[in-house]
């Protein structure tokens, strides 16, 4: 059953073999695996239950429902926008369905540096194969690439740069282009469509609009979770929910999980919890084309440029380039400037293509709890990462011109407009200080990095907490570094891995 905490009699006390916190890629998978293994499961989700009928394809209506802080979450000093989902299904409700495995070179380095004995390469590979089959991950056929993506392909071809098509987890996609505000056609093979129904069928109880605030523990053993039922509109607490459980699995995302661990004073001698956040920060360049691009139509992000993304060389470039998604409100927010200048750019909306360079970052950010329900994120790319971000932006501008743009807009304040033929080196010399340009991130990860050495890591390579028995982590927090590829496939895989381990373990 799926319940709405705001409609339940409060206060409420529940008992289960396992309490999972968060129903995104990691949490929904761990809950499904544990419920199907025979555990009684209560899953707490701060967001609401949304069905395809609720996805009304309006940015202004959907962002407040689908995203934390109405889509306005930022770092503490407002330097970086951090988009994260809330709702039964988490960020998989509105993500763009790209699926990629973490390169073997990164996984190999993790194994060496962090000791991941319970997650050998063969286990990773088997998990990936299983998740790809479960979510029907397939290459998007070339005849379904829209003009926006074909322009990126054109740019790569013209420059002789590496690129290729991407694989997605979608079936029966109409190509409406509304992925980022939820799918009205139920075409996303995501946590909400595939995992949650199976978890419920196996007996899991899902409590939506219920935010965990504290993990109960005593003398090194977990006892359950204290949570708050939330008022639907304001998200203010309206009553207490307590789940007593000998196992607790935190999957509240790479920001929510470390905040909960720290608020609950969970011991962590290595001090890594909430200290090593990576986010794949991104910059966007837009190109104005003579012919309409209509970037909002069709399947977003089916082509990638990997020319500037090196995984093996320490001094290689680290930018992953894809077309940036382009609804009108989002585009207007990204286009710098005001008044007539802004209007002039927006008048060209149908002719704009936008490419984004996401950074495989090394900067370590920080997450802290803020009061009973909030959290703060400290993150600003270090000097080396800022240089790489500008290099990525420069590469986006080159690709746009190579694809035929007549001018390229760099979103500084005021905007820098480069005409065709103008040298682009000035982009590399920009001063990327906070507020100079919109830096956006959609892939928080790495804030509770796994490792088998309890003196260093808080959780092991099965997500088991080293210092509190019965406590587990199953989300993007577990990555020991940035991964440089879209993370959901790997988080689903880790959710499966952790779900199996905690189902086997004695409480
Ligand atoms: C716009 C956008 C596009 C993206 N596109 C892609 C893509 O194409 N491919 C890809 O691989 N990745 C993509 N991502 C990222 C991907 O969706 C996430 O990395 C992934 O879903 C993270 O999984 P998770 O389990 O760590 O957290 P989430 O999926 O974010 O789930 C965490 C859940 O926990 C809930 N929660 C948080 N705190 C609490 C609490 N205290 N109590 C109860 N519940 C809580 C949240 O509401 C949320 O539902 C995208 C992200 C965004 C924002
Ligand atoms: S493009 Fe496909 S997956 Fe995205 S919202 Fe439209 S139908 Fe759904």
Nearest Cα residue to 501 out of 477, 473, 475, 468: 473
Residue 443 annotated among the catalytic residues of the structure: yes
Sign of the four-CA dihedral 435, 437, 438, 442? negative
CA 228/CA 205 separation, integer angstroms: 16
Residues 6+ apart with CB under 8 A from 339: none
Name the closest-CA residue to atom 31, ligand 1: 24
| Ligand 1 pocket member 251 (CB < 6 A) | yes
DSSP assignment string, 264-285: TT---TT--TTT-BB---EEEE
In this structure, which ligand is nearest to the CA of 98?
Answer: 1
| Ligand 1 pocket member 96 (CB < 6 A) | yes
Residue located via tokens 């936008």:
354
115-122's contacts with Cβ under 8 Å and 24+ in sequence apart are 115/451, 115/452, 115/453, 115/461, 116/450, 116/451, 116/452, 116/461, 117/452, 117/461, 118/452, 118/460, 118/461, 118/462, 118/501, 119/450, 119/461, 119/462, 119/497
Q: Which atom of ligand 2 is nearest to the CA of 176?
A: 6
Question: Is-contact 229 237, C-beta < 8 A?
Answer: yes
Question: Is-contact 21 495, C-beta < 8 A?
Answer: no
Q: What is the dihedral of CA 186, 189, 190, 196, to 10 degrees?
A: 80
18 Cα to the center of ligand 2, angstroms: 34
Q: In 216-235, which positions are buried (b, 16+ CB within 10 angstroms) versus exposed (e)?
A: bbeeeebbbbbbbbbeeeeb
Six-digit token string for 9:
């009699």
Six-digit token string for 282:
């991104």
Q: Is 484 helix (H, G, I), strand (E, B) or coil?
A: coil
pLDDT under 70: residue ranges of the chain = none
| Ligand 1 pocket member 83 (CB < 6 A) | yes
| Ligand 2 pocket member 174 (CB < 6 A) | yes
The separation between CA 247 and the C-alpha centre of its own chain, rounded to angstroms, equals 25
Strand partners, 358: 282, 320
| pLDDT value of residue 187 | 98
| Ligand 2 pocket member 298 (CB < 6 A) | no
Six-digit token string for 291:
């012919």
Q: Which atom of ligand 2 is nearest to the CA of 299?
A: 1
Catalytic residue from among 308, 443, 465, 466: 443
Q: Which atom of ligand 2 is nearest to the CA of 96?
A: 4
Residues 6+ apart with CB under 8 A from 197: none
| pLDDT value of residue 243 | 98
Summarised one tens digit per residue, pLDDT across range 55-114 is: 999 999 999 999 999 999 999 999 999 999 999 999 999 999 999 999 999 999 999 999
Q: Is 228 helix (H, G, I), strand (E, B) or coil?
A: strand
In this structure, which ligand is nearest to the CA of 447?
Answer: 1
CA 396/CA 322 separation, integer angstroms: 9
Q: What is the pTM of this model?
A: 0.98
Nearest Cα residue to 320 out of 282, 362, 358: 358
CA distances from 270 to 192, 263, 381, 460, 481 (A): 35, 17, 24, 12, 16
| Ligand 2 pocket member 182 (CB < 6 A) | no
Beta strands in 414-495 (DSSP E): 416-419, 439-441, 471-473
Q: Is 96 helix (H, G, I), strand (E, B) or coil?
A: coil
């Amino acid at each position: 059953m799926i319940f709405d905490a705001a409609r339940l009699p409060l206060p409420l006390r529940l008992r289960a073999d396992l309490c999972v916190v968060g129903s995104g890629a990691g949490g929904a998978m761990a809950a499904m695996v544990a419920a199907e293994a025979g555990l009684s499961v209560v899953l707490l989700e701060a967001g609401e239950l949304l069905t395809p009928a609720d996805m009304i394809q309006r940015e202004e209506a959907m962002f407040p429902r689908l995203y934390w802080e109405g889509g306005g979450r930022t770092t503490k000093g407002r330097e970086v926008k951090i988009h994260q989902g809330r709702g039964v299904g988490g960020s998989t409700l509105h993500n763009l369905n790209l699926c990629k495995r973490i390169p073997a070179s990164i996984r190999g380095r993790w194994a060496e540096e962090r000791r991941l004995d319970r997650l050998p390469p063969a286990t990773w590979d088997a998990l990936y194969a299983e998740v790809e089959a479960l979510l029907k991950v397939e290459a998007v056929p070339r005849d379904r690439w829209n003009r926006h993506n074909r322009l990126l392909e054109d740019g790569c071809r013209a420059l002789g740069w590496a690129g290729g098509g991407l694989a997605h987890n979608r079936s029966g996609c109409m190509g409406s282009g509304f992925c980022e505000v939820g799918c009205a056609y139920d075409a996303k093979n995501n946590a909400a469509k595939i995992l949650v129904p199976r978890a419920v069928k196996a007996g899991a109880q899902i409590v939506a609009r219920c935010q965990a605030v504290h993990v109960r523990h005593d003398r090194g053993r977990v006892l359950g979770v204290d949570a708050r039922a939330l008022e639907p509109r304001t998200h203010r607490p309206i009553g207490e929910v307590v789940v007593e459980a000998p196992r607790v699995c935190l999957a509240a995302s790479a920001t929510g999980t470390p905040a909960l661990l720290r608020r609950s004073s969970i011991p962590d001698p290595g001090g890594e919890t909430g200290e090593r956040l990576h986010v794949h920060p991104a910059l966007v360049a837009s190109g104005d084309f003579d012919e309409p691009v209509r970037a909002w139509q069709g399947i977003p992000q089916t082509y990638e440029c990997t020319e500037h993304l090196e995984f093996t060389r320490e001094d290689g470039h680290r930018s992953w380039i894809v077309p940036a998604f382009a609804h009108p409100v989002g585009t207007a927010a990204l286009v710098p400037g005001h008044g007539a200048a802004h209007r002039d750019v927006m008048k060209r909306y149908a002719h704009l293509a936008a490419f984004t360079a996401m950074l495989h970052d090394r900067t370590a950010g920080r997450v802290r709890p803020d009061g009973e329900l909030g959290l703060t994120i400290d993150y600003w790319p270090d000097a080396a990462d800022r240089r790489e971000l500008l290099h990525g932006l420069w590469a986006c501008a080159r690709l746009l011109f190579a694809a035929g743009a007549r001018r390229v807009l760099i979103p500084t304040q005021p905007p820098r407009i480069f005409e065709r033929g103008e040298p682009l080196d000035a982009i590399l010399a920009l001063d990327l200080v906070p507020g100079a340009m919109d830096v956006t991130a959609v892939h928080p990860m790495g804030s509770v990095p796994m490792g088998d050495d309890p003196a260093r890591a808080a959780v092991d390579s099965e997500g088991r907490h080293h210092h509190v028995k019965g406590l587990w982590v199953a989300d993007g927090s577990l990555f020991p570094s940035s991964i440089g590829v879209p993370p959901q496939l790997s988080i689903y895989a880790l959710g499966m891995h952790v779900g199996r381990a905690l189902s086997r373990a004695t409480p």
